Amino acid sequence: MEAAVEKLKDLFPVTARSGGKKEKNIGLWALYQKEMADHIHSKRFLLILGLVVVTSFASLYGALDSISSAAEGTDFLFLKLFTTSGNSIPSFVSFIAMLGPFVGLVLGFDAINSERNGGTLNRLLSQPIYRDSVINGKFLAGAVIIFTMVFAMGGIFSAVGLLTIGIPPEAEEVGRIIVFLLFTGVYMCFWLGLSILFSVLCRHSATSALAVIACWLFFTIFISLLAGILAAALFPVEGWEGLFNVMSNYKCELYLNRLSPYYLYGEAVTTILNPGVRSIGLVTTAQLEGAVAGYLPFGQSLLLVWPHLTGMCAMTLATFVLSYLKFVRQEIRSS
């Protein structure tokens, strides 16, 4: 415990020297505060925040409008506020899955290249500040903004839903909602790390923004089409040979789709917010024989989605590490 506390102290140093020993990450705290202030007062962040708020309450209105038909019983009624769609309005989960990448895009697409083009990066690095403190401070500030926004929106959404339906959530429902919000924060942080990576690689902000949007389109739409084509080519299901390739075809397409953070997020939150989901893979008739119908406990649902959380954290870390290594090795020339 003491070692962990010392590492946290080293992460946010107050002075340049302490007891004759030079501190690490000089200037990280100042850069973090500066980036937080820039994000909070940014008009584009306020715009995307307003869009998320409006769409969240629109999804809540659609869920409440059709909650009587969606809730045939009273089990886990509070969770259905997040997963129920209206007549023409998608659910809260669907909105977040689509808008989450744009939150990360807004916070990170010009994190580095705007500083370089404006000439402020040269002046910033001329100060007694380590280069890695710059990119660490930008990612940390964006991640804090994302998690604060996600949990604040989740709390407001839950409070309005509670006042409307008048049925308080059970302890298991509260736990599932917290895990759902945690997944949402990690999902948005992946797109933040990806946008910072393109901000380091691309010289212009417009180019990095278009690159992130292209990745979003690929992971959201085209990867599912590509997975189906590759699975059909490797394991054709036509003809008499298709009888032996059905399971292999399904597994191949499933594994290829899970390379997408969009698919991972959707599969994970559906399992968490719907206790009736007992499996996320192919289930045969022989496996269903003798199974007792019912809801899956919270702990078992966590076991199902734990690999998804690990995968999303790994992808987020990979994008940030790539941007970190590229940035610390770049040559910063004065204009």
* Better pLDDT: 282 or 76: 76
CA 23 to chain centre: 32
Q: How many CB atoms lie within 10 A of CB 260?
A: 20
| Of the candidate ranges 28-32, 103-107, 206-210, the one whose mean pLDDT is the lowest | 28-32
Q: Is the pLDDT of residue 231 over 80?
A: yes
Q: Which helix (H) or strand (E) holds 22?
A: strand 21-22
User: pLDDT for 185-201, tens place per residue?
Assistant: 999 999 999 999 999 99
Per-residue pLDDT of 271-289, as tens digits, reads 999 888 777 766 655 555 5
What number of CA atoms fall less than 13 Å from residue 284's CA on the CB side? 5
**Six-digit token pair at 293?**
């119908």
Place of tokens 């302490």: 18
* Max mean pLDDT range (20-24, 215-219, 297-301): 215-219
pLDDT at 184: 95
Confidence of residue 314 (pLDDT cuts 50, 70, 90): very high
3-state secondary structure of 335: coil
Q: Which residue has the higher pLDDT, 170 or 75?
A: 170
Strand extents, DSSP E, 35-140: none
Instruction: Find out whether 172 and 298 touch, Cβ atoms under 8 Å.
Output: yes
Of 148, 138, 97, 137, nearest to 260 by C-alpha is: 97
Residue 15 pLDDT > 70 = no
Residue 168: is its pLDDT beyond 90? no
Take residue 262 and report the two structure tokens written for it.
């969009």
